[in-house]
Each structure stands twice: as structure tokens, then as C-alpha cells.
Structure 1
């Protein structure tokens, strides 16, 4: 594998890379729902939340991916349970079932909306079916899951809960030919702030915005980006993905997972409606 391809290779998660926080609410009695738990950031967060003592309910449309997440947790020796729910976030009955099943494992206290999709096309060529599916997975489902989780948050011993949303640099500025992704990520930041506005300080929310992360989602979009822009795969990595950042490497999924752990913890009690921007300087600096 050449050096540029190595920059997007999806790394294995090791236990020593998971950050732990001493938090009284991080117990197996409390559940953390993680969407997109079958790969990438969702898998990393499922492992990190379990390593921090929470009962994790990982959900994904990919049943095999979920099984691999559970197996990885067992290989790492993580003791807290990782339960799984195979579900399609575009189906309301499935979304409702996720929360119902999570409630059967403990008190639903944390929700991480991580699941994402990508499609590369100019607006005039963008298929509306792809747009609709991305909207339902990346924006409507997070809103509906939040709506369903709110009563459970308020029924916990302290009446508190927290929603973490996987936003992006594309929730701050946009790049061409990603209209559905851009709109969804801007929308997630709006959802984050709306939850904070209505949470009365008891239900917190935050979003995490990163640049390109070493995930299957990123790796899989490289050929389409190269074709649409008429450049090489290596140029996509060096110029498009890393060109504006001041860092010369991408984040790993576990790095992002650790930000969610921080956001859910008591260390972030004043983080409410805010966005954790970890983009290597991509959006806030220029040459």
C-alpha cells in the first residue's frame, strides 16, 4: 500500500487508545444508543462507551457489522455489554423498536446519532431518491430518536440525559457535489441547538465536527470524488481531504469516539448546544 492510501486505511481500535472518564453516570444501569454501530465511528464509540462502563445498544442496518463490533469488544476484554439492534433508520417502526429494546436493557440516558451516508453528484444531477434516503438516515432519524428518547431521559433517577450528534466540517462550510451531506450536517447542528433550547439544562446536546476521518465512508467516496473532479485518487487524498488542514494526517475513529465520551461526561456539563470542532484548522485558517 502506498503512503497516500495508508492515510485512509481504517485502523484497528486498541483498548489503550480509548479514553476513560470517572463519571457516576457511566454505569451498566444506563444505556447509550449508538447508530451506525456496525463500522467506523459508530463502532469505535460503541467500544468506547462500553469501556467507560455503559450498556451500549449499537444499531445498524448491517447485521454482520454489528456482530463484528461485539466480537471486537470481546477481543479487547471490555466487560460492559454491547447489545445490538439490526434496524433501518428510514423505517419508523425500526426507529421505535431501537428505543424500546434499549429501554429493556436499562435506563436510556445517552443517544449518539452517528450513522451517515454519502453520494457524490452535482445538484443538477443529484438523484432525489438518494437525497431522500440520506435525509431520513442523517437528519430525520436523529430527530425522531431524540423525540422518543426524551421521555426516557426524564424518567431516569436524576431526570437527565444527553444527545450527541455527528456533524462535520460540512456543517460549517460546504464542498461541491455533496449537497445532501452538506444539508444534513447543517441540519444536525440546528437539531443540536434545538434540543438545548428545549432541554431546560437537564437534557444536554452537543455536536462533533471533524474533518476527514479514516472510515469506510471516507475511503469509499474517494473513487467517485476522483471521477467527478477529473483528478487522481492520490490527489483526492492530498488536495481535497488534507489540502486545507494544517494537520498532515486524518483523525481515527477512536479519536472521534473519545470526543463523544467527553461530551457525554460530567466534564462537559457546560457543553449544551455547542459544537466540538476538531478539523485540524480546515475551516478556520487559510493560506
Structure 2
């Protein structure tokens, strides 16, 4: 059995508090309160950090999540950091197309919608022969179907604004896979296909990119670690050392704000040639896997 609870794992491997100096601040004329970014999964983890980073860069951010208290917490943190932009909470279910459409409509009401960050994710660990079909459907609904729906509904707003950018939260598991995560693995490979498809149809005016990281200090990861340890009959510490960081060259977990900064860069004018491509931030895992 695992030797640490999720709470203990979060205390040890959870994210650090975000400071102003941790946030990337590129120059971009569209980074202003009249411009809107829609961020999913904004109540926690990478979505929370991405929403905060974009608000700190002056954007109005519609944070979509079922956990409105979590989104309220990022709004409070943005205010504490004197962010030039603002956080607009939106309670919505990514499994509902009407909620996805309503989130885009709310983003359009908040200003000129130019950016969409599909960050929300979840995980279930099981072998293929035992994998629950309902978990497959749920994971793909949140992580693959919803990004398509949000992109579809945001497309007219992007055209009206003269351009837009879709950023998709992928993973090193969209490049290489580990066992027990068949739904997650296939969803992440699918997101890279969606990213390329947006670029193919966007004609240079609507572009896209994905972000592929290794292990990040989030609640999603914290919940996986005891499960993985129990499944492997080992300790959480050994899972972090041998599984999470075993094949990386840089032996440290990413902070969520470091991933949020990748979305800031990807949305900015400095990344205008990033279209359909992937920002692989995996500590060297994929290219030096040994």
C-alpha cells in the first residue's frame, strides 16, 4: 500500500505560492483588459496558474470550472498581486455543449475574445483489461471533446477580432506513454491532432499550439502518486524518483506557474510562428529516454 496520503503528498510535492516575479511578462499590444482569454480548469493546478498569469499580463480572464470557489481564489490572488487584468468566474460543465457555448458567450461579453486555453484535465489509473468505459468517456469528454466544442464556438469571435489563438494543455504522455493511463494517453495524443487541425484551418490568422510537460506539482499529480505507488507496491518517494523523474535529465517537478508562463508566451506576439506546434517542457524525458 502507498505510504503517504494525498494530503501528505500535497504538503511535500505541492505547488509553491506564486509571486509577481514568477510570472512571465512579455510585451504585446493585445495584452490589455479589453482582450479576453477563456481558461478551463481555472479552479486549481495549471488552469489556476494560467488564469493568474494571463490576468497579471493585463487580460480579462474568464475562468471556467465547476468549482467556483476555486476560481474565486485565483481572482483573490490576482487582486493581491495587483494584476492589471481581472478574473471573471464562470461555473460550467465541460461535458455540456450548452455550457461550453455559454462560456464562450460570456467571454465575448467581457471583451474581445482572442485566446482560449484548454487546460482542464483528470486522470484514472487502471489496466486496459479492467479500464472502466465510463472513465474513458468522461476523460475524453473533458479533455478532447470539450476543447473541440470550445474552439468551434470561439472561432467566430476569433474571426471578428481579426485573429485568435488556441492553446491546448497536452503532456509528455502525448509523445510517450506509461501503463495504466490508456484514456489519458490517447486523449493527449488526440489533442496534438486537434492542435494541428486548428492550424491547418486557421489560415495563419487563427493559430494554435500545445504544451507538453512532464510531472507538475498539482493536485491531479498528488492524487496519482499514492495510487501509482500502491499499484507498483512501492513508496511515493520511489515513484517520484523512479517514475516521475526517472527518465528526465532535470530532477525536479515543474511548478504550475512555469506552465502558465508557457501559455502566456504561446499567446503573445512573440510566438506568432508557433502554429500547430508543441512546447515540449519535459526536462529532457522524451529525447533522452533511457
Q: Where does residue 39 of structure 1 map in the other structure?
A: 44
In the superposition, relative to structure 1, how do residues 100 and 183 fare at CA in structure 2: closer, same or farther (>3 Å)? same
Q: Where does residue 233 of structure 1 map in the other structure?
A: 236
Q: Where does residue 102 of structure 2 map in the other structure?
A: 97
| Deviation (angstroms), 1:64 | 1.3
The answer to whether the Cα contact below 8 Å between 2:59 and 2:84 also exists between their aligned partners in 1 is no
| Deviation (angstroms), 1:248 | 1.1
- For 1:184 and 1:276, the matched residues in 2 are separated by 17
Q: Does 1:211 align with 2:214?
A: yes
Name the Cα RMSD after superposition: 1.5
Q: Where does residue 118 of structure 1 map in the other structure?
A: 123
Q: Where does residue 198 of structure 1 map in the other structure?
A: 201
| Deviation (angstroms), 1:92 | 1.3
Q: Does 1:10 align with 2:15?
A: yes
Of the three residues 110, 134, 143, the one matched with 2:139 is: 134
| Deviation (angstroms), 1:233 | 1.2
- For 1:181 and 1:33, the matched residues in 2 are separated by 23
| Deviation (angstroms), 1:74 | 1.4
Q: Where does residue 268 of structure 2 map in the other structure?
A: 265
Q: Where does residue 51 of structure 1 map in the other structure?
A: 56
The answer to whether the Cα contact below 8 Å between 1:9 and 1:214 also exists between their aligned partners in 2 is yes
Q: Does 1:254 align with 2:257?
A: yes
The answer to whether the Cα contact below 8 Å between 2:170 and 2:191 also exists between their aligned partners in 1 is yes
More off after superposition, 169-178 vs 231-240: 231-240
| Deviation (angstroms), 1:68 | 0.9
Listed as ranges, the gaps of 5+ residues in structure 1 are: none
| Deviation (angstroms), 1:182 | 0.2
Structure 1 residue ranges, 4+ long, deviating more than 4 angstroms after superposition: 3-7
More off after superposition, 73-82 vs 126-135: 73-82
- For 1:270 and 1:65, the matched residues in 2 are separated by 34
The answer to whether the Cα contact below 8 Å between 1:5 and 1:234 also exists between their aligned partners in 2 is no
Of the three residues 62, 71, 76, the one matched with 2:76 is: 71
| Deviation (angstroms), 1:286 | 3.3
The answer to whether the Cα contact below 8 Å between 2:16 and 2:255 also exists between their aligned partners in 1 is yes
Normalising by the residue count of structure 2, what TM-score does the alignment of the two structures yield? 0.95
Q: Where does residue 184 of structure 2 map in the other structure?
A: 181
Q: Where does residue 286 of structure 1 map in the other structure?
A: 289
Listed as ranges, the gaps of 5+ residues in structure 2 are: none
Aligned residues: 284
